[in-house]
Structure 1
Amino acid sequence: MTDPSPSPANSLADLAGRWERLRPEGGLPTRADFPTEALRPWLGNLMVLEVVDGEAEEPDFIYRLHGTHLTTLWGRDLTGLRVTDLPEEEAAPLLREYREAFHSRAPLHIPGRQMVRKDYLRVEKLILPLTVKGIEVEQLLVGMNAVGGYAIQIDATAFAMRLRG
């Protein structure tokens, strides 16, 4: 049993610090800067979203990876879905957050409440814009911790295999 609440081992502040250290002057870290081994402390609590229509004012995003803790928490795996495929009440706040990180090209830390299975859970979320080719925001790395000891199971091996993709 693993507790996804913040701890020294999986602090989102540490993940944000890694992003800052790897960020080139005026640019963005690349997805390759975050190999599976480097992400191990956060396994299960991560999402990777691909930007769709990055030229558009309001891009959409596809979940390329939805961590096992988060899948258990939501009761479904969002991998392969667009954010706009979700019900409007779920999609609207997510799109606001993801688009803000996309346009700002900077980390976005969001403490607050998240609707999960028709109930609210206190969470801490970190959205990190990444590039693949070196210039534009092409992916978002999203870490999320439940606050207050919401304990769930993790299958880290399956997560790592999906992350390597």
Structure 2
Amino acid sequence: MLDPDLGRLPQPAKGLLAYWNEHCPAGGLPDRSVFDPLSLRPYLGNLLIVDVEATAGAAASGQSERRFRYRLIGTDVAAMSGRDMTGRYFEDVYDPVALAEMRHCFGWVVDHRRPARIFGTFRHANRAFLGFDGMFLPVATDRGSIVAQVIGYIISNKS
């Protein structure tokens, strides 16, 4: 589920959000390059990075159709979900219901150009018994204003 209110973020995510805010120019997005491995060290196992790609038809039609591809899945996220989806497109991983949910959550962050809290279970990975909490952060590349990637931070809520 998606929650635009960041007031209920899990404590570990608040430090990453503060880092994102520190590097977010007025009216813009932080550049992906400020999120280097050294600065992200405390979060690495729980991170995922998703590339946002416009589809060929979207570019021609001016519509916002897009594909999402996992560029990186942290080791803790892979362990929680029971799979490492690095390099795979969402439509190659998820069933139609889960695909719609994932596109909605990531799409909201891309369209609104702002972070959001996410929470739920790993039901889409046949692990409905395991809850998670976290957030998605939009970032640009090459000092652009278009969301090129979404950085996710996911932790088990063990509740």
Q: How many angstroms apart in 2 are the aligned matches of 1:147 and 1:75? A: 16
- Asked whether 1:93 is paired with 2:94, we answer no
Q: Which runs of 5+ in 1 are unaligned?
A: 1-5, 150-165
Aligned to 2:138: 129
How many residues are matched? 142
TM-score of the superposed pair, with normalisation by structure 2 = 0.81
Match for residue 78 of structure 2 among 71, 95, 104: 71
Aligned-residue Cα RMSD (Å) equals: 2.0
Task: Classify the secondary structure of the residue corresponding to 1:43.
Answer: helix
Residue 117 to residue 139, structure 1, CA distance change in 2 (3 Å): closer
Aligned to 1:158: none
Task: Classify the secondary structure of the residue corresponding to 1:15.
Answer: helix
Highest RCO, 1 vs 2 (Cα 8 Å, sep ≥ 6): 1
Per-residue deviation, 1:41: 0.7
Superposition map of 1:1-165 within 5 A: 11-53=12-54, 56-86=63-93, 87-115=95-123, 117-120=125-128, 121-134=130-143, 135-148=145-158
Whose helix fraction is larger, Structure 1's or Structure 2's?
Answer: 2
TM-score of the superposed pair, with normalisation by structure 1 = 0.78
User: What are the Cα deviations for residues 73-93 of structure 1, in whole angstroms up to 9, with x where unaligned?
Assistant: 222211111112122233221
User: What are the Cα deviations for residues 70-121 of structure 1, in whole angstroms up to 9, with x where unaligned?
Assistant: 1122222111111121222332211110000000000011233332642322
Q: How many angstroms apart in 2 are the aligned matches of 1:92 and 1:123? A: 19
**1:109–1:124 CA contact under 8 A, matched in 2:** yes
The one-letter amino acid of 2:104's match is R
User: What are the Cα deviations for residues 118-151 of structure 1, in whole angstroms up to 9, with x where unaligned?
Assistant: 23222112100000122211011011011028xx
The one-letter amino acid of 1:65's match is L
